Amino acid sequence: MIKRTLVSILLLGLIAVMFAQAQDLFISEYLEGSSNNKALEIFNGTGAAVDLSNYTMKLASNGGTWSATNSVTLSGTLANNDVFVIANAGANAAIQAVADMTHTVTYYNGNDCVGLFHGDTLIDIIGVYEQNPGTDLGWPVAGVENATREHTLIRKPEIVSGNLDFVDGAGTNMDNSEWLVQPQDYVADIGMHTFDPGGGQNAATPTFNPPAGVFSQPINVTISTTTPSATIRYTTDGSNPTTTVGTIYTTPVHLTATTTLKAIAYATGFDPSYVASGTYTFVSQVVQNVTQLRALTAGDGSVYMVSGEVVMTFKQTFRNQKFVQDNGAGVLIDDPSGVISTSYNLMDGITGITGTIARYNNMLQFTPVANPGPATSSGNSVFVPVVTAANVNANVEMYQARLVRFNNAHFQETGTFASGTNYTLVDDSGTIVFRTAFYDADYIGEPIPTGNFSLLALVNQFNNTPQVFARQLSDWGNVANDDATAVPATTQLIGNYPNPFNPETTISYFTAKAEPVQITVYNQKGQAVKTWNLLTEGKGTHSLNWNGTDDNGIAVSSGVYYYRMHSGKYSSTRKMVLMK
């Protein structure tokens, strides 16, 4: 009986290939793009029209079971060699233009599972049922990590049926996978499917050595294929090579600037390989910390790397944003393309963030160009300066994207928190805008606190208006300094703003107690040009203004200056630039 069954299955498979037909419908494309750009494409290659009322698409979220709500029974008739597209109602116009229906079955993220059923029988699946690879993660496909998250998956032309073993079908590289992996929001093929079950064997896809990544020095890339006597053509302009287009590979490819390298292999007796692609990113400048990053030119496309570790203090699914900081400064990571595929926990350390910087409504944002990889530490604490509303309003650039603490503050408004709303936070120094920018925060819909409290908040800027955001309910405290994330008992030189500056800048520092402080400005020759001898009144954040003059009141020339803070055993030096 078993032998007969196997023979029957093999015969059916052989007949399907001979007549270029599939045994049943299968998922031909899976699109998990930015925001609501999500769609599923089902292909009919059976050789005859199919009544779709016998088919259901189901969603299983976060490792759970099939949803009764986010499932849909299809309707209509699907012609042979045609596709049926289910889209998210909020998908972009390009997806909507080819959609046959919209439904909540597309309410998936990369860690959710979708299945195609014929009657009560599962015939195809994306993901592993009742397993969750992790929040902000997905399953690997064709050697691409987290490929079911923020990628488009397209079934190869030679595939003739669904696969209930998703891991097996996903494969470990481009050659042994059933799928082609495209970047986020790739929609060029949605609404059509190339079906060629009788196609020949493909040449092995070329590989690059070293693999694509981030580099600071010129490199030579070797391209190879395991197919004997194959010819390789490659391009460096982002276009796809073919058997007639592109440079024939003979010697390693020398790269000195950011380049997308693509290659194809072809040989007698083989169909051409799939196109291998890799982006080699070259860093314009490496800096040690976020303070140095913030002093660099923004908006010109230069790629920067922060070699030191930063700590993630908050993340949200909106544009895959992350707030990161070190003990001197912070920056908002804006990652709409999902370049950072590693999932991090709050207070994880991340080393080697690499990307570009630009201003959005005066808020400095960092757009990554490479995934920095696994967390390099966890459970970190960060320096949280105690500030006032007046401090932040006057020095918002210094505090952007950082956690700060307000003590003895209260709200002018009463009622309950609504999302996307501005409120007025008041302390002894004045007021500042508190915005409920995190729409899924646990305090939305909760009563607005009354009376005085301490508050941990992230600093944002919208045009010329400083704003602060709370991350969660636990950021509120009834008394000052009641949070373990709080201010360390160490004296710190915080930094200066603006930097570069003209004609004056504000130098800020923190002291753990009432103690003498000396701050000295030096020129590039190491000569002291301005010195302050100060006595702080107690623990807290302090500041002073330098107007670009020396101890005799004479204006100094433009250029690079260094300022050093010395207090007890503590000493720290930073750089600033006076521009005239």
Give the CATH number for residue 509: 2.60.40.4070
Q: In whole angstroms, what is the distance from residue 468 CA to residue 184 CA?
A: 31
Query: In the listed set 223, 252, 282, which residue is the last one of a domain according to the structure?
Result: 282
Within this chain, do residues 120 and 16 fall inside the same structural domain, yes or no?
A: yes
69, 161: one domain: yes
| Tens-level pLDDT at each residue, the chain (580 residues) | 223 323 333 344 444 444 458 899 999 999 999 889 999 999 999 999 999 999 999 999 999 999 999 999 999 999 999 999 999 999 999 999 999 999 999 999 999 999 999 999 999 999 999 999 987 789 999 999 899 999 999 999 999 999 999 999 999 999 999 999 998 899 999 999 999 987 778 999 999 999 998 898 999 999 999 999 999 999 999 999 999 999 999 999 999 999 999 999 999 999 999 999 999 999 999 999 999 999 999 999 999 999 999 999 999 988 999 999 998 999 999 998 888 988 899 999 999 999 999 999 999 999 999 999 899 999 998 889 999 999 999 999 999 999 999 999 999 999 999 999 999 999 999 999 999 999 889 999 999 999 999 999 999 999 999 999 999 999 998 543 333 333 445 788 888 777 778 888 888 888 888 889 999 998 877 788 999 998 887 787 888 889 999 999 999 988 888 898 988 888 788 888 887 7
Q: Quick check: is 230 in a domain? A: yes
Same domain, 309 and 396: no
For residue 9, give the CATH number of its domain. 2.60.40.1260
Residues 356 and 390 placed together within one structural domain of the fold: no
Do 176 and 160 lie in one domain? The reply is yes
The answer to whether position 8 is within a domain reads: yes
Q: How far is Cα 20 from Cα 16, in angstroms, rounded to an integer?
A: 6
Nearest to 524 by CA among 482, 566, 559, 476: 559
Cβ–Cβ under 8 Å, residues 390 and 430: yes
Q: Are residues 18 and 33 in the same domain?
A: yes
Domain final residue pick, 282, 299, 332: 282
Does a structural domain hold residue 497? Answer: yes
Q: What is the pTM of this model?
A: 0.66
Instruction: List the helix and strand counts (H, then E) for the chain.
Output: 6, 42
Q: Please, what's the b/e burial string for 378-401 (b: 16 or more CB within 10 A of its CB; e: otherwise)?
A: eebebbbbbbbbebbbbbbbbbbb
Say if residue 352 is in the same domain as residue 456: no
The tally of domains found in the chain comes to 5
CA–CA gap between residue 35 and residue 106 (Å, rounded) = 12
Domain residue limits at 513: 492-578
Q: Are residues 363 and 467 in the same domain?
A: no
Q: Residue 355 and residue 367: Cα distance in Å, rounded?
A: 5
Domain membership of residue 171 (yes or no) is yes
153 and 18 co-located in one domain: yes
